[in-house]
Amino acid sequence: MLLNQIPHGVVYCGAIGSSPMDDDITYIKTYEGFLYLAVVIDLYSRRVIGWATQSRQPTDLVLQALLMAVWRRKPKQTVLIHTDQGSQYTSRDWAAFLRAHNIEHSMSRRGNCHDNAVAESFFNLLKRERVRRRTYKTREQARQDVFDYIEMFYNPKRKHARNGMLSPVDFENRQRNVNQEGV
């Protein structure tokens, strides 16, 4: 299914915890070799809600990131996740996890990175603002820096024009307050 073909009954905007997600993988160079990073991003707030790193990129890498996202969000209804057509996202384990957690899968067109623009944009920011400014001796050093960027800077502090110049955390908090006042 393509992102523009969202099935009836799937929540696709506005509600924190039930908005669609974007998932992708990138790599970071270290002296030990590559560190692969999988992220799950909330498309409504642009918050990184799940992430995982490994020295390889098996299906388990993306499953760990998605498990973190599901654990953090605890969706109560069907949610949508968008990915590319990489082997990790077409595996049986991935499909079984999605079924078990009531997640609908959307895939980009073959070879079209623009369909995954939110994750690609995040990776561009990560590399431009952090990774390209550093040299990592070990994968663990890179992993710790990724943690610092995502959890200590990007989610709580990095302002986004799309969020009215609020960070993803501040944007979600404001939306939560608006929703509570409207009830």
Q: Which two tokens stand for residue 87?
A: 């082997």
Share of residues in the chain with pLDDT > 70 (%): 85
Which residue from 29, 103, 30, 32 is spatially nearest to 62, judged by alpha carbons? 103
pLDDT for 8 equals 40
Paired residues of 148 in beta bridges: none
Q: Could you tell me the domains of the chain? A: 21-182 (3.30.420.10)
User: What are the angstrom distances between the C-alpha of 115 and each of 58, 80, 136, 164, 169?
Assistant: 22, 14, 31, 23, 25
Number of H helices, E strands in the chain: 6, 5
Neighbouring residues of 73: CB distance < 8 A, sequence distance ≥ 6? 17, 18, 42, 49, 79
pLDDT tens digits, 42-69: 999 999 999 999 999 999 999 999 999 9
Instruction: Encode pLDDT of 84-117 as tens digits.
Output: 999 999 999 999 999 999 999 998 777 665 668 8
Mean pLDDT across 133-148: 97
Residue 112 phi, psi dihedral angles, 5° rounding: -115, 95
Query: Would you state the pLDDT for residue 18?
Result: 72
Q: How far apart are CA 65 and CA 82, in angstroms?
A: 14
One-letter amino acid at 147 equals: F
Assign 26 to helix, strand or coil.
strand
Calculate ∠ Cα 160-161-167, nearest 5°: 25
Portion of the chain with pLDDT greater than 90, in percent: 75
Q: Is the pLDDT assigned to residue 143 strictly greater than 60?
A: yes
- Burial call 13-50: b when 16+ CB within 10 Å, e when fewer: eeebbbbbbbbbbbebebeeebbbbbbbbbbbbbbbbb
Average pLDDT over the chain, rounded to an integer: 89
Model pTM score: 0.88
d(CA 48, CA 158): 12
Q: How far is CA 72 from the centre of its chain?
A: 12
